[in-house]
Amino acid sequence: MYIPMEEGESIVAKVHRHWLFIVLRIAVLVLLFIAPSIIVLILESAGLVSIEGVSGAARLALWSLWALVLWAMFWQFWTTYYMDIWIVTNKRVIDIDYERLFDRNIAMIRLDRVQDITTRVQGVVGTLLRFGSVVVQSAGSDKEFVIDQIANPEALRDAISKVAGEAGTLRVVKME
Amino acid sequence: MVVSPSVPPISAAGLPDLTGALGSFPISIELSSLVLVVLTVLVGIFIGAVSVVLIYHWRRFPFEHDIFRTAERVYLSGVALMLVGVVIGILAA
């Protein structure tokens, strides 16, 4: 994937999703990591299963294999999280949207077409952890450009409005 | 041809007694080295495919070269470490 920069174009900000969304996925992996031990422990204490026939070395091999699978899953999650990025340049906003690896959607909006920028912080968790959305409305289009689940949306709104301010009549609306 | 279903004996509580049908407990689990080797091959194929996909993406993404270069090193080091654990486990089993 390659997004060519225009002449005189420079990156102003790069924004990822809030860290909470990768932490939730890591928590699932941690649960999966300890789940087999807990299940075997429960089944053994209930007298349903006996693993005395499995040697310590075999357990080490099994544990390493399971850890290897989860390790690969972690890096897949992290890569999807890290590649799902919004890039603000001095000429446009680029949204590289990664749902999964090999499943991406790239959208762009030119700053001289930006009319409104709205920030939205919803819910108790969003307010406490300071994450929310930035909605960019372009001129001559009903489509909204939504930058969702990002940390500190006000800072991004300010960055976009700063570089877009000279392009036209930019109106900034803040909603919380 | 008529097949008559086998009816399990009724226990004192009035429920079907399935003890014999379910086998004896606890079920003893044993793992041979061959099973471990087969599991390792399957996981190895999975890890190989995932590694190719991840490294392909990390090397093509233009905006975060430095962090993805570090990620590649950490990922491969972790894979190597866990493979050592697998090999030691299989050899000792």
Handedness of CA A120, A123, A124, A125 (dihedral sign): negative
Residue ranges making up the domain that contains B86: 31-92
Please check whether residue B3 lies inside any domain of the structure. no
Look at chain B and report how many structural domains it folds into.
1
For residue A108, the model assigns a pLDDT of: 87
ipTM confidence? 0.77
Please check whether residue A73 lies inside any domain of the structure. yes
Please check whether residue B26 lies inside any domain of the structure. no
Rounded Cα distance, A69 and B81, in Å: 13
Query: What's the token pair of residue A49?
Result: 């299963």
Please check whether residue B57 lies inside any domain of the structure. yes
Please check whether residue B77 lies inside any domain of the structure. yes
Cβ-count burial A153-166 (b if 16+ within 10 Å, e if not): beebbebbbebbee
CA distance B89 to chain A (A): 4
| A 48-67 residues with CB < 8 A to B | 48-65, 67
Residue A171 has pLDDT above 70, yes or no: no
A151 by DSSP, 3-state: which?
strand
Minimum Cα–Cα distance from B42: chain A residue = A65
CATH number for the domain including A145? 2.30.29.30
Residue ranges making up the domain that contains A103: 11-176
Cβ of B53 within 8 Å of Cβ of A47? The answer is no
Residue A97 has pLDDT above 80, yes or no: yes
Confidence of residue A117 (pLDDT cuts 50, 70, 90): confident
| Mutation target vs A (from B28, B52, B56; most A CBs, 10 A cutoff) | B28
Q: Which residues from chain A sit within 8 angstroms of residue B47, using beta carbons?
A: 68-69, 72
CA distance A2 to chain B (A): 6
Please check whether residue A2 lies inside any domain of the structure. no
Q: Which residues from chain B sit within 8 angstroms of residue A14, using beta carbons?
A: 63-64
Look at chain A and report how many structural domains it folds into.
1
Please check whether residue A1 lies inside any domain of the structure. no
Record the pTM.
0.78
From the list A3, A83, A87, the residue facing B57 with the nearest CB is: A83
Give residue-wise pLDDT tens across range B27-64. 888 888 889 999 999 999 999 999 999 999 898 877 77
Minimum Cα–Cα distance from B83: chain A residue = A64
Query: What's the token pair of residue A132?
Result: 């929310």
Please check whether residue A102 lies inside any domain of the structure. yes
Residue B4 has pLDDT above 50, yes or no: no
**Range from A130-134, B62-66, B75-79 carrying the lowest mean pLDDT:** B62-66
Please check whether residue B61 lies inside any domain of the structure. yes
Please check whether residue B65 lies inside any domain of the structure. yes
Please check whether residue B60 lies inside any domain of the structure. yes
Instruction: State chain A's mean pLDDT as an integer.
Output: 85
CA distances from A7 to A4, A10, B61, B64 (A): 9, 9, 20, 20
Please check whether residue B1 lies inside any domain of the structure. no
Cβ of B29 within 8 Å of Cβ of A49? The answer is yes
Query: What's the token pair of residue A167?
Result: 């392009």
CA distance A20 to chain B (A): 20
